[in-house]
């Protein structure tokens, strides 16, 4: 069994995998990570290996303790990956993007795959059918767009994310919802179409916190999945363990 540790700024996703299958997932506050890992270790006593991504938020003490419990792999730009990366600045490439591309290799080998991660930012990552990662693009996510309109203007309110009823907003609030949500959807559909013009056999994956909200509104055919990043981290760990 493997333990997957995906560290965010305030919260941590923990997942237990048995081979390629998820047996347990939970989200915990960062300050509770060692307590929860100890509990998971007690429940799943056959866990031998773990991978940690986004280690910047973890203290050296946390990392040392985790390393005492399990054989530890820290994901970074030097980690051996199951694909060839043609990215020109690998040291600046987010570990979340690395994990998502790895998941696409596991689930859709030798395919042209576009992975869209709709979270704080919207990232687009492309790997071709020769197992070569070419890169992609980054744009602001839904919440970032709502916050930007509020923070960078004098009078626009900060709203919760909401699906607009019409492209035509008949109030300031409905205009904001229309501009942001339709803007993101048109962006995604446009990016997907442009990739399809170059790669007609394209597979499109949508994941991330806003994937459920957006998936039913997109015109393009996509696969929406919630655990894609965790699957990618587990695959990287397996790949480095020669399993």
- Please report whether residue 239 resides in a domain: no
Positions marked catalytic: 96
**Coil/strand/helix, residue 127:** strand
- Please report whether residue 79 resides in a domain: no
CB within 8 A of 37, min separation 6: which ones?
3, 5, 14, 66, 69
**Domain end call among 49, 74, 99:** 74
Q: Is the pLDDT of residue 222 over 80?
A: yes
* Count of the separate structural domains present in the chain: 2
**Domain end call among 28, 48, 74:** 74
Shared-domain flag, residues 91 and 65: no
d(CA 13, CA 100): 15
Q: What is the pLDDT of residue 224?
A: 85
Q: What is the pLDDT of residue 92?
A: 94
d(CA 219, CA 186): 9
Tell me the pLDDT band of 81, cut-offs 50, 70 and 90. very high
CA torsion, points 157, 161, 166, 169, in degrees to nearest 10? Answer: 10
- Please report whether residue 26 resides in a domain: yes
Shared-domain flag, residues 97 and 191: yes
- Please report whether residue 243 resides in a domain: no
Q: What percent of the chain has pLDDT over 90?
A: 85
Shared-domain flag, residues 70 and 89: no
Q: What is the mean pLDDT of residues 37-45?
A: 94
Map tokens 């597979």 to a residue.
203
Q: Is the pLDDT of residue 34 over 60?
A: yes
User: CA angle at residue 115 from 113 to 118, to 5 degrees?
Assistant: 165
Per-residue exposure over 199-222, b if at least 16 CB sit within 10 Å of its own CB, e if not: beebbbbbbbebbebbbeebebeb
Binding residues for ATP: 6-13, 120
Q: What is the mean pLDDT of residues 218-230?
A: 88
Shared-domain flag, residues 182 and 110: yes
Tell me the pLDDT band of 109, cut-offs 50, 70 and 90. very high
Q: What is the pLDDT of residue 226?
A: 84
CB within 8 A of 6, min separation 6: which ones?
12, 13, 14, 15, 53, 54, 96, 99, 229, 230, 233
User: Are the CB atoms for 208 and 228 separated by under 8 Å?
Assistant: no
**Domain end call among 74, 102, 134:** 74
- Please report whether residue 160 resides in a domain: yes
Binding residues for substrate: 87, 94-97, 172
Binding residues: 6-13, 87, 94-97, 117, 120, 172
Shared-domain flag, residues 152 and 221: yes
CATH number of the domain enclosing 226 = 3.30.420.40
Q: What is the mean pLDDT of residues 169-174?
A: 97
Alpha carbon separation from 126 to 16, 41, 110, 122, 212 (Å, rounded): 27, 36, 12, 13, 21
Shared-domain flag, residues 66 and 175: no
Q: What is the pLDDT of residue 134?
A: 98
User: Are the CB atoms for 41 and 47 separated by under 8 Å?
Assistant: yes
Shared-domain flag, residues 59 and 179: no
Shared-domain flag, residues 173 and 94: yes
Shared-domain flag, residues 139 and 90: yes
Shared-domain flag, residues 89 and 187: yes
Q: What is the pLDDT of residue 243?
A: 52
Q: Is the pLDDT of residue 55 over 70?
A: no
Tell me the pLDDT band of 225, cut-offs 50, 70 and 90. confident
- Please report whether residue 92 resides in a domain: yes
Condensed to tens digits (0 to 9), the pLDDT of residues 184-201 reads 999 999 999 999 999 989
- Please report whether residue 51 resides in a domain: yes
Domain span at 101: 84-233
Shared-domain flag, residues 70 and 138: no
């Amino acid at each position: 069994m493997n333990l997957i540790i995906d560290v965010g700024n305030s919260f941590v996703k923990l997942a237990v995998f048995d081979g390629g299958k998820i047996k347990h997932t939970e989200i915990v506050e960062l300050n509770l990570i060692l307590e929860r890992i100890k509990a998971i270790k007690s429940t799943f006593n056959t866990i031998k290996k773990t991978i940690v991504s986004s280690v910047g938020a973890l203290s050296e003490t946390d990392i040392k303790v985790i390393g005492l419990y399990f054989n530890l792999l820290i994901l970074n730009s030097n980690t051996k990956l199951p694909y060839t990366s043609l990215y020109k600045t690998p040291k600046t490439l987010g570990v979340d993007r690395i994990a998502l591309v790895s998941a696409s290799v596991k689930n859709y080998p030798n395919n042209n795959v576009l992975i869209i991660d709709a979270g704080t930012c919207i990232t687009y990552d492309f790997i071709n059918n020769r197992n070569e990662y070419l890169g992609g693009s980054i744009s602001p996510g839904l919440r970032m767009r709502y916050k930007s309109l509020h923070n960078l203007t004098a009078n626009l309110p900060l709203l919760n994310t909401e699906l607009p009823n019409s492209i035509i907003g008949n109030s300031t609030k409905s205009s904001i919802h229309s501009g942001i949500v339709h803007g993101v959807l048109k962006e995604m559909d446009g990016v997907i179409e442009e990739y399809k013009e170059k790669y007609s056999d394209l597979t499109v994956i949508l994941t991330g916190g806003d994937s459920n909200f957006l998936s039913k509104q997109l015109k393009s055919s996509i696969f929406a999945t919630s655990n894609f990043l965790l699957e990618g981290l587990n695959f990287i760990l397996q790949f480095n363990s020669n399993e």
